[in-house]
Structure 1
Amino acid sequence: MTPAGRATGAGRVFPPLPQHPDPQAPFATSWWGNAWIGALEGTSLDAGRLARGRAYAREGHVDTITVAPGRIVAYVHGSRPRPYRAEIRMRTLTPEDWDNFLDAVATEPAHIAALLDKDMPHALVDAAERAGVQLLPGPGDLVPSCTCPDHGRPCKHAAALTYQTARLLDADPFVLLLLRGGDEQALLDELAQRNAHQAAREQSATTPGATGESLPGTLARDALATDYRPPLPAPLPPPAHPGEPPLLPSLPGAPNPTSLEFLATDTANRAHAYLTTGTAPFPTADPWHDAVRLAASHPGLTGRRSFSRQFAELARSVDHTPTDLSRAAAAWRQGGEEGLSVLESPWDPPAGPFDRARGALITADLPRMTIHHNHLTNASGSLQLRYGRDGRWYPYRSEPGRDDWWPEGEADADPVGAVTGMIGS
């Protein structure tokens, strides 16, 4: 099987890149990274969208980037609460292309050494082009798309993703080879074999009387004849974070890939919770609570003013409006089950915490607040603290006089910290 075939379905996931604040610093420092940017800029007819895309990339608006054969995908945060799903597509190489490329590289050990050193010299790309293989994209080879309403090609979100990808290419040219359909380990294995065969042929040609006999070894059946088996190694520690879902193609008649990625994300979260706690995660059987948890945990579903189709379908499945679900998801992100209870279930706590809280707020020269159940509300009706049964204060905000309260900010055991965190946000 060719390396391109072994790479089918494979992918690599890169965490969000740090901000790139210097407006004079280039996104790419390698010549092949700049060629990637040139392919984008050579196609775009709107310099304004490119400029906004560069600004988004520099400010760190691009979330986790997933690279797979033929495509790059990431959520990009814009001016709205819900991020957009940007994607860049590029043609993969054919099996014949890979054979020609591997033959061209294997004949020159310096090319293999350069790839191992995460370098892509001009000579390697020239050798591939002489073999009829184009590694770097040209104008029009990058095909952007995005879930935002802007139909520009590219829009600012897809442009931001392209600029950030140039930084990945700088660090590792195998990212480009993966986009073209080649898995790194499969390519290196194939190059090692072809290079060894090339060296053997050269040795046979220069050694008189070479017989080509195999080296001595041990047959597998002899090595496995004993019943002794060494003990298994200790289990690996669980990863620090849940895994990312696989990239799925959009095919006629197939399920929506975004919906499947959402379900895979939830499955990964459940599996990671089980590995790290040893108990069944999310044991509640309440469909509403489970829908709120799902909405709160997936970056493509959350929002306050605009909602994705998946979000609206999830709300309808539990007989709620998207706005209700969005508000509940915000409460869940504040404190899980307790955060949702604070949103939905007022209660009458002991007087002590409220007396101490009001005194602390006055001492800190913060607005005087009135009491109603477990709520403290300022005079203008724009800020509110809700006291939870877990002893924490949950900040809420509303437009003055509208009584439309939304969770905002992080819960805090200190009421002053909860208010100041909300005022400063």
Structure 2
Amino acid sequence: MITARDDLRRTFDALPDGTRAVSWWGQAWVAALEGPSHDAALLARGRTYADDGHVDAVTVTPGRIVAYVRGSRARPYRTELALTALAPQEWDELLEDMAADPAALAALLEREVPRALAGRLLPGAGDLVPHCSCPDPGRPPCKHAAALCYRAARLLDEDPFVLMLLRGRSERDLLDDLARRNAAHAAREQPASAPGFPGVPAREAVHRPAHLSALPPLPAPLDAPPVGAAPAYPAEPGAPDPLALDQLASDASARAHALLADGRDPIAGLSLWQDAVRLAAAQPPTSGLAASTRALYRQLAAATGRSPGDLARAVPAWRQGGLAGLLVLEEEWDPPAGPFDRAGPALAAAGHGPFRPRRNRLSSPRFQLRLSRDGLWYAYESDRDQEDWWPYGSPSPDPLTALTSHR
């Protein structure tokens, strides 16, 4: 049966080529197992096993990494490496430090282990505890555990989120949590100062008061630059952020393309808040951790009278279902009898729940389902008993499918 926490288990049938760790964190992983061993010959045999493809599919869950390793006998041995998962308080402190450190965030988004936090994530000598069903358990690590260690190092080279999962957090949970913490950090930052270059607000420039027959004059243009290469306009003191200008240009281009394609403006009828959410949701999902996108969130929130935290919660709702997803986030209503009443028993029959009903919402201590006016179910999750609901997954007319969907 599929559950909503299947992201805490990953199985790798195809492993990266080679057995020599190429990243510094992959090499640190290998050293953690090799360090306590004084049998170089045994380690060499383990590497040969790994080179010869004796390690089958690798499964990673919080606290352990498991595979069947084929030795000299016909039946493979069940081999695992155990690594203590971090406690909730340790994760809380680590994520707070990561959210406050732009370099650490940048490293994680580049799929690297942040060096500043490596001491709390990577195992030290003796932290990796091997277990194997082979008849030689008295000489850890055995050659089968060594083979698994070398293959796992290549997995970490390719995807450091494997290490995060071993320590207890899935990639999706980790990035979502960091995005929320970044929103909180952005809310505490001071707003940018007013621009120092001449200009008037666009609304004021095109508005013609009833007592005037003409629009007010535009300000004088900026002085011409000296002869030679003209400086980039965004480099002028107080000028707009070049990334924000690029975002506006890209959005205008996308709207123009939509108008040419079907004659409909994608923002027609949107409120100021809804359009701000649409603009923020157009950013790549992982860019919410970057300083430039944090600044964009802060500016959009200020322009709409909302908080960056409100915007951070609204963005995944928009990505979940567009305007309809945002309405589900913000609107409660009383559905008629029928599909809503049948959803609770159907979920219980599938092994989920119990869910308590309230208007168009079904809630459990960890998950919530919301029914839209067009008959789709939207899934939300929260830390247990916190009532802090965040959207995830894809909407579906079937409540079980919506509950077990993942981004």
**TM-score normalised by length of structure 1:** 0.46
Larger Rg: 1
